Each structure stands twice: as C-alpha cells, then as structure tokens.
Amino acid sequence: AWRISPIGVAGMLAVGGVSMLLAAFTPIHITAAGFTQQEIALLLAAMPVGTLLLQYPFGWLSDRTDRRLVLAAVSLVVALVGMVAIRLDDAPLAVMMLVYLVWAGTGESIYALSAAHAIDRAEKDDLVALSSTLLLVWSISGFVFPGVGTVLTALYGTKAFMAIVV
C-alpha cells in the first residue's frame, strides 16, 4: 500500500485517529464542559450529518482536480476547525453543533479521499489487497490514537483529545 500510495496510507493513519478520537472523546469533553444529555445527543447527531453533507462536494471536487490538493485543503480545514473547537466550551449549542458538524464532516472525508487517491494509482489486481490494507491501517490508527488520548486525558483533562486531533 505504501508503494502504491504513501498519501493514501498517511491519510488513513490520520483519519483513523481523528474519527475515533472525535467519536469517543467528544461526549466526554462536552459532558465535562457542562452540557446536558439532550444537548450532547444533539451535538453527536450533528457530526454524521456533517459527514453526509461534506463528503459529496469534496469527492466531486477531487474528481475534477488533483486529489492531493483537496486532501491538503480538507486536512487544513480539520486543523483550523479543531483549533476553533478547543475554544468553544462556553459557546451556545447551535454554534457547537455547526463547528462539530464541519469538524467531523471534513475529518471523515479524508477516508474517502485517501482511498480514492490510492485506488487511482493501483493496478486492477491489487485493489482488494490495497483496500484491505488501507482499512487495516485505519483500524490500527483508530486503536492507537484513542489509547494515547485516554492517557493524556487522564493526565491533562478532556481538552487533551482535541490537541491530538488537531
């Protein structure tokens, strides 16, 4: 997989950690910030909506231009929105929902963009092995990053996961 698409593998490493950290630690962080169960549920519901809304335009754009540029732009948006999210514990729920919608939607889009980039460069006979390897890389990252996030959260509090995601 690395020989076929180092960018695809790197993207999977990034998105596995980002997506699992966001899914696992957002409710913990938002609870610590004082939000109610209902507010947390609404915030968590906004995150997959972001994925649904943002993957299509990013995919459309990456089909018409260099996928690496789209991946770089989406990664930059993930980092910038993450930096905004770090400062929003006192923001109204609607603002939080919008930020997390964009954060999750752009973060999850990296999976599809990375996979498409790798598949574009593969031979037909390598597609199954490549897809399996990319999923394995995503899974390993999705295991390791939350583990690191757990340790850092225990040491530094719930904002530690955000610093890792950014």
pLDDT at 165 over 80: no
Q: Residue 161 above 80 pLDDT?
A: no
Rounded-to-integer distance, Cα 54 and Cα 149, Å: 26
Q: Mean pLDDT, to the nearest integer, of 149-162?
A: 83
Mean pLDDT of 40-54: 95
Q: What is the mean pLDDT of the chain?
A: 92
Q: Which residue has the tokens 């980002």?
A: 18
Is the pTM of the predicted complex or chain greater than 0.75? yes
81: its two tokens = 């929105």
pLDDT at res. 9: 97
State the Cα–Cα distance between residues 36 and 51, nearest whole angstrom.
Answer: 24
Closest CA to 53 of 104, 99, 105, 103: 105
Any idea how long the chain is? 166
